[in-house]
Amino acid sequence: MIKKNVPIPIYYQIIELIQEQIEKGELKPGDSLPSEREFAEKYQISRMTVRQAFTQLVNNGYLHRLQGKGTFVAEQKIEQTLHGLTSFTEDMKARGMKPGSQLIHFEIIPATSQIARQLAIKEYGPVYEIKRIRLADDVPMALETNYISANLIKGLTEQIVNQSLYAYIENQLNFRIDHASQVIESSVANQMESQHLNIQKGAPVMRIQRNTFLQNGTPVELVKSSYRADRYKFMIQMKR
């Protein structure tokens, strides 16, 4: 219900109403919402107020608009808890989703100074550059570029990198992946990200840079990823 005699802004009440319906399953992904005019008439409020609420819900990833068709409930975001070191494949399997990869680039290149520094190798040393689209239930979730020392991790092939890199490193090469440092920042999609993630150029993305280390402290991987902000969110548990 929308209450006009309380100090809570009406647009915010609309947001809470729709969010609650989505979270309770009363509105499911793909369901269409009434038009702004119909919604305004039903609750006897202005269309501008409804538009403000819908826009906020779109920006927050609860709804999405299709030009000429209307406003629909968006797919639920995948939540990743940042308290352990797992691979994309492991994350998706834990959620009962089918992980996948689409390899778009694979070659050995000379390490730039920045890559060499992150991997603790000599500048111009050989590194694998691996670009993949990461999929969950066949839907593009992230564009990922990995840099791995070719002198440390030997025998990588296109077939292997289309699976789980972590599984190959630990199960086939018997290395122990121990910890990582990770930086997350908000950004907007460039042309390449727009093309491979099926989102508009300028759409919000989360850029992540992770440096992963073996148990002996050796850097094993530098990965730069761009995640769709409309389908992914991160949750951090903190304790005082």
In whole angstroms, what is the distance from residue 26 CA to residue 59 CA? Answer: 21
pLDDT of residue 132: 93
Position 200 scores a pLDDT of 86
The distance from CA 128 to its chain's CA centroid, rounded to whole angstroms, is 23
Cα 199 to Cα 85: distance, rounded to the nearest angstrom: 28
Give long-range contacts, CB 8 A cutoff, 24+ apart: 148-151: 148/119, 148/220, 148/221, 148/222, 149/111, 149/119, 149/121, 149/125, 149/219, 149/220, 150/108, 150/125, 150/126, 151/121, 151/125, 151/126
Determine the pLDDT at residue 98. 85
Position 195 scores a pLDDT of: 93
Read off the DSSP letter of residue 170.
I
183: Cα within 13 Å, side-chain hemisphere: 7
Count of residues making up the chain: 240
Give the model's pLDDT for residue 66.
83
Q: If you classify domain 78-235 with CATH, what class do you get?
A: alpha beta
Residue 84 has a pLDDT of: 64
Q: How far is CA 218 from CA 118, 178, 180, 198, 209, in A?
A: 10, 10, 11, 36, 17
Q: What residue segments make up the domains of the chain, in order of their start?
A: 10-73, 78-235
pTM: 0.69
How far out from the chain centre does Cα 139 lie? 11
**Structure token digits, residue 89:** 């494949």
Equal CATH topology for 10-73 and 78-235:
no
Q: Give per-residue burial for 71-91: e unless 16+ CB within 10 Å, then b.
A: bbbbeebbebeeeeeebbbeb
Q: Count of CB atoms within 10 A of residue 198's CB?
A: 12
Classify strands 99-110 and 126-136 as parallel, antiparallel or unpaired: antiparallel
The pLDDT of residue 4: 78
Q: Quick one: which of 83, 79, 114, 91 has its CA closest to 182? A: 83
- Amino acid in the structure at residue 41: E
pLDDT at 82: 61
Q: Which helix (H) or strand (E) holds 193?
A: helix 191-197
pLDDT at 128: 96
Q: What's the rounded Cα separation, in Å, for the pair 81 and 211?
A: 18
pLDDT digits (tens, 9 = 90+) for 201-230: 898 898 999 999 999 999 999 999 998 888
pLDDT at 211: 94
- Look at residue 100 in the predicted model and tell me its pLDDT: 85
**CATH entry, 10-73, from 3.40.30.10, 1.10.4160.10, 1.10.10.10, 1.10.1450.10:** 1.10.10.10
Residues of the chain with pLDDT under 50: none
Q: For position 145, what pLDDT does the model report?
A: 95
Whole-angstrom distance, CA of residue 186 vs CA of residue 204: 7
